[in-house]
Structure 1
Amino acid sequence: MKKALDVSAKDTQRRGLQEASQEFLGHLITTTLEAIGIKLMTQRDKSRLRAVGKRQRELISPAGRITINRRLCRDQKTGQYIFLLDQHLGLAPHTRLTPSVEKACLSLGTISSFRQSANIISTFIPTVSHNTIWKCCQDVGKTATKQAANACHEVFEDGVIPEAARQTKELSRQTESM
């Protein structure tokens, strides 16, 4: 019985240390990203990009949940609104997962159940739920379905022949005589 309590206490201590480390790393990442955002704002083309305001974005990263303040700019020529930090980091709009967490969710979500995947990921990142993994897999599936539909449309409707991935050295044809 005492041995089980020792293991439980050690797990609790490890978990507490992991959470404290993730919180510290999250603050460090947040501060660094906000400093990069400020630098991008000072280096922007001020005649083209006008600062509009600040917006917050919550991300789920390997360091846990982080919230960053980003600056919103309006492109005077196109009228589009741009987050310079998101553009610089290559973050897709309206996604909460960082690319590394998304990759982990996809890898595990396609080989096991979403709940089991969430349990595995939660040992490293406590804020990822089975529903988050399901949504991530659904989004990637929708994108792949659209790409396949566009490729089929190009080939069968528009007559566009896709480039070959490899070159065939020799092509032979067999026929049967009657």
Structure 2
Amino acid sequence: MKHLTTEWPLLKELEEQLVRTLQKVFAVLLAALLEEIDQQLAEARDKRRYQLKDKRPTTIQTLFGEVTFRRNYYYDRQAGAYTFLLDAELGFDGAQSISPCLEETAVELAVECSSYRKAARTLESIVGYAVMSHEAIRQLVLEAPVSLHHPVSKRHGRVLFVEADGLFISRQGKGKRAKEEKILAVHEGWKRNGSQLELVNRRHYLHEGAGDVWERFEEWLMNEYAYDPCRDLLIINGDAASWITACREYFGKRACFQLDRFHVARELRQCL
């Protein structure tokens, strides 16, 4: 039997190399296909309405990696605006530089993974390079459509109630200032237990260490409550401390912040 002197890579390495090679081939094919469709649209367009101005290059991120192609830019005489017929025909916005399939994959990973950072790392392992930051994925989730008016039988998602407060703890030693501990209590509503009402699935989160409070809290929600940022809504109750009201910017339309009753009553008394 002849002994092989050639050293072959492991199957895992062969598979990874082949995937990356195919990605490059598919990227070239996709660019050629998009330009061919754009040319057919140019030939079939209403030339009295759409005036061809020039061809403009664009690069979009896809599951195949970066795809660069040129598409026709028109002036729509009827609408009085400039447009790309290719974008309208295929249902994407070339200015956003992210393909619809990649965007959908990123949002799904954000829901399935325990954090946006993990979703970004997983997406990187799929595509082969750091295609999107964790913050970019979070913004996609915030911008994803949310419907709050499903019929009761078709309603998806839950409402999680959050009580946010800061507890100042004295520190030993002369001149040391009190430290504020950021505490968030979470529950899924109320249920009656005899003559009493009790909170459903109550948990507490204590923010420790560095990092943004709401980013770390959201990761904790994903682990403790299987929180789905595309379906679940948050009702956040607290005072007007800056770190608490920052939840409005972080969660956007996926959370509702309200001033707690104590501080509402205090504000009203001060106005009297």
TM-score under structure 2 length normalisation: 0.47
CA distance in structure 1 between the aligned counterparts of 2:91 and 2:56, rounded to whole angstroms: 17
Using a 3 Å threshold, how does the CA distance of structure 1 residues 139 and 124 change in structure 2: closer, same or farther?
A: closer
Alpha-carbon offset, residue 70 of structure 1: 0.7
AA of the residue aligned to 1:117: A
The residue number in structure 2 matching 1:36 is 37
More helix by share: 1
Alpha-carbon offset, residue 89 of structure 1: 0.9
The residue number in structure 2 matching 1:96 is 97
Structure 1 stretches of 4+ with a deviation exceeding 6 A read: none
Using a 3 Å threshold, how does the CA distance of structure 1 residues 166 and 143 change in structure 2: closer, same or farther?
A: closer
Residues 2-151 of structure 1 aligned to structure 2 (within 5 Å)? 9-110=10-111, 111-131=113-133, 133-142=134-143
CA distance in structure 2 between the aligned counterparts of 1:114 and 1:129, rounded to whole angstroms: 13
Percent of aligned positions that are identical: 23
Alpha-carbon offset, residue 88 of structure 1: 0.8
Q: Does structure 2 conserve the Cα–Cα contact (< 8 Å) formed by 1:59 and 1:96?
A: yes
Alpha-carbon offset, residue 123 of structure 1: 2.7
Larger Rg: 2
CA distance in structure 2 between the aligned counterparts of 1:31 and 1:13, rounded to whole angstroms: 27
AA of the residue aligned to 2:83: I
SS in 2 for 1:123: helix
Q: Does structure 2 conserve the Cα–Cα contact (< 8 Å) formed by 1:55 and 1:72?
A: yes
Using a 3 Å threshold, how does the CA distance of structure 1 residues 15 and 143 change in structure 2: closer, same or farther?
A: closer
AA of the residue aligned to 2:91: G
More relative contact order, 1 or 2 (CA 8 Å, 6+ apart): 1
Alpha-carbon offset, residue 139 of structure 1: 4.0
In structure 1, stretches of 5+ residues that fail to align are 1-5, 152-161, 168-178
CA distance in structure 1 between the aligned counterparts of 2:130 and 2:91, rounded to whole angstroms: 21
Alpha-carbon offset, residue 122 of structure 1: 2.3
Q: Does structure 2 conserve the Cα–Cα contact (< 8 Å) formed by 1:37 and 1:84?
A: yes
Alpha-carbon offset, residue 142 of structure 1: 4.4
The residue number in structure 2 matching 1:159 is none
Number of paired residues? 146
Deviations 1:19-77 (A, max 9, x none): 11100111111111100000001111000100011111211212221112110000012
Deviations 1:136-168 (A, max 9, x none): 431441465xx78xx9xxxxxxxxxx8x7369x
Q: Does structure 2 conserve the Cα–Cα contact (< 8 Å) formed by 1:117 and 1:130?
A: no
In structure 2, stretches of 5+ residues that fail to align are 1-6, 154-272
- Aligned CA RMSD, in angstroms, stands at 2.8
Using a 3 Å threshold, how does the CA distance of structure 1 residues 117 and 18 change in structure 2: closer, same or farther?
A: same
TM-score under structure 1 length normalisation: 0.70
More strand by share: 2
